[in-house]
Amino acid sequence: MEFIIQFTIVVSCLLFGAQKGGIGLGLAGGCGMLVLVGAFNLQPGQPPVDVILVIISVVAASATLQASGGLNVLLQLAEKLLRQHPKYISLLAPLVTCLLTMLCGTGHMVYTLLPIIYDVAIKNNIRPERPLAASSVGSQMGIIASPVSVATVSLSAMLASSGGVSVDFITLLSITIPATLCGILAIALFSCFRGKNLSDDDVFLAFIDKKVNQDYVYGTAATLLSVKLPRSSRLAMGIFITFILVIALLGVFPDLRSNAEGTPLSMAMIIQMCMLCGGAFILLFTDTTPSDIAKSDVFRSGMVAIVAVYGVAWMADTFFSHHLTKIEDALAGVVSDHHPWAYVFVLLLLSQFVNSQAAALAALVPIALAVGVPPSLIAATAPACYGYYILPTYPSDLAAVELDRTGTTRIGRWVINHSFLPVGLTGVGVSCSVGWLLAHLYDLM
C-alpha cells in the first residue's frame, strides 16, 4: 500500500510538471522529493551531478555559439539548400532539420526554418503537411544522435557507470547516428506520398477560390539569403565544429586522453573540458559579448533542461532506490530477454508525459539498469526516448500547424489523429529497429 501511495505521488508530480511545462517539471520533482523524504522518511537519493555538469558545459558552449552568430551560418546554408532544390523539399527538409539539431544539440533551430519550408512547399504546389510535419519530427529525432545534446551526454554518462557490456560515448553515437538517419530517410520517403496533392484537394481548392485567401496562402516568408554574415560568425562555427571533432577523436583513441598513470579520463570529463574551452575560444577570437550568452534561446532552454533533469532524476532515484527489491521482482520477468521491447514502450510513453528526452532517460534508465536491462539494449533503442509526438502538444508541432496557412498540417477532431503521429511512429520505429540490428552487428547484444 505504501508503494502505491508513493508511486502515485511520483506520477502526480510528473503529470503536474508536464502540464506546467519547462522548468515546472524540475520544480515538481523537488516537491515530490520533499513529500517522499518528509512524509515517508525515505533516504534521499543521489542527484545526477556528473550528468548536470556535462549538460552545463555543453549548454555554455552552444549558447556562446548562438550569441556569436555562428548558428546563423548553418541556418543560411540550410535555406540555400532548400530553395535550390524545391521539388525535393519533402526529402530534404527533415534531413536538414535533423542535421542542424545534431550539430547544435537542440531542436529549437527548427522554428527559424519552418516558415521557409512552408514558403518553398506552397510556391511549388507541394502539400505543406508533407515537409512541415516531417521537419518538426526530424528536428526532435536528431537530439539523441547529437554528440552535444543533453539527452545524449546524459545517457552516455549513465551507461558509462553501468556494468555489463561496455557502451561508451563513441559506441553510443555509432548506433544512434546511423539509426536516426535511417529513421529520417523513412519519414522523408513516407512524407512524399502522404495526403492528397494540392491540385486534387477539393477543400483547399475551394478555400483559395477567394482572392483574399489565395493571397494569404501564397504570401512570402522572411529569408536569410540576403543577410551578409560577418567573418566572425563563420569563425565561431568553425571553432565549435573543431571541438566536436576533438571530442570524437579522443573518444575513438582512449590513449590520447590517458593521465599520468595511464588511465583514460572519462568521456564525461573530456566533454566538459572541450565544450568549456570551445566557448572560451569563441569569446577569444570573436567579438561576442559575454552578457549576450545568458540571453540566448539555447542558454535558456538548456537551463530549463538542467532543472528538469535535476528534479525528475533525483525524485525518481529516491523512490526507486527505496523500492528497488520490489521493482526488480515485479519487472524482472517483464523486462527480460523474452520481452526486451517492454522497456522501449515504457520509455516512449514516459517521454510523452515529461515532454523531454533527457528527463525521460534520466528517470527510467537507472531503474532499467537496476532491474537488469542490458546497457546494449538501452543504447540500441535510445531513439525511443522521443515519444512526445503521440499527442500534438510540443511547441514545434504547434508552430508547424500555425504556419501552414493551407490547413493541411492539422490536429484532428479526436486530437490523436494529427499530422505528426504517423511520421513519429515511422521514424522512431525504424530508428529503434536499425539500432537493434547495429547492436547485434557490433556484438553488443
Q: Number of folded domains in the chain?
A: 1
**Conformation bin of residue 164: beta by default, left when phi > 0, alpha when psi is -120 to 50:** left
pLDDT at 276 over 90: yes
* pLDDT recorded at residue 373: 84
Residue 6 lies in a domain: no
pLDDT, tens only, 352-390: 877 789 888 988 888 888 777 889 999 999 999 999 898
Amino acid type, 308:
A
* pLDDT recorded at residue 163: 62
Residue 142 lies in a domain: yes
Residue 299 lies in a domain: yes
| Residue with the three cell numbers 477567394 | 210
What residues pair up with 411 in beta bridges, in sequence order? 418
* pLDDT recorded at residue 391: 79
Residue 100 lies in a domain: yes
Residue 342 lies in a domain: yes
**Angle, nearest 10°, between helix axes 341-354 and 2-20?**
50
* pLDDT recorded at residue 335: 57
Least confident of 116-120, 297-301, 332-336, 387-391: 332-336
What is the rounded end-to-end Cα distance, in angstroms, of the chain? 37
What is the C-alpha separation between 200 and 197, in angstroms, rounded?
Answer: 5
* pLDDT recorded at residue 246: 87
pLDDT, tens only, 91-107: 999 999 999 888 877 78
* pLDDT recorded at residue 432: 96
Task: Give DSSP secondary structure letters for 75-90.
Answer: HHHHHHHHHHSGGGHH
* pLDDT recorded at residue 76: 87
Residue 10 lies in a domain: no
pLDDT at 339 over 70: no
Average pLDDT over residues 10-38: 84
Query: Which ranges in 124-165 belong to alpha helices (H)?
Result: 129-141, 150-160
DSSP 258: B
Question: CA of 392: how far to CAs of 130, 295, 428, in Å?
Answer: 16, 28, 16
pLDDT at 415 over 70: no
The residue with greater pLDDT, 126 or 310, is 126
Residue 67 lies in a domain: yes
What is the C-alpha separation between 184 and 178, in angstroms, rounded?
Answer: 10
pLDDT, tens only, 36-95: 999 999 999 888 787 788 778 888 888 899 899 988 888 888 888 888 999 999 999 999
CB neighbours of residue 206 within 10 Å:
10
Residue 27 lies in a domain: no
pLDDT at 332 over 60: no
* pLDDT recorded at residue 387: 92
Asked if 400 contacts 114 with a C-beta cutoff of 8 angstroms, the reply is: yes
* pLDDT recorded at residue 104: 76
Taking alpha carbons only, the member of 274, 240, 283 closest to residue 74 is: 240
Asked if 350 contacts 438 with a C-beta cutoff of 8 angstroms, the reply is: no
Q: State the average pLDDT for the chain.
A: 85
pLDDT at 12 over 70: yes
Structural domain harbouring 193:
46-441
pLDDT, tens only, 391-407: 776 778 877 888 888 98
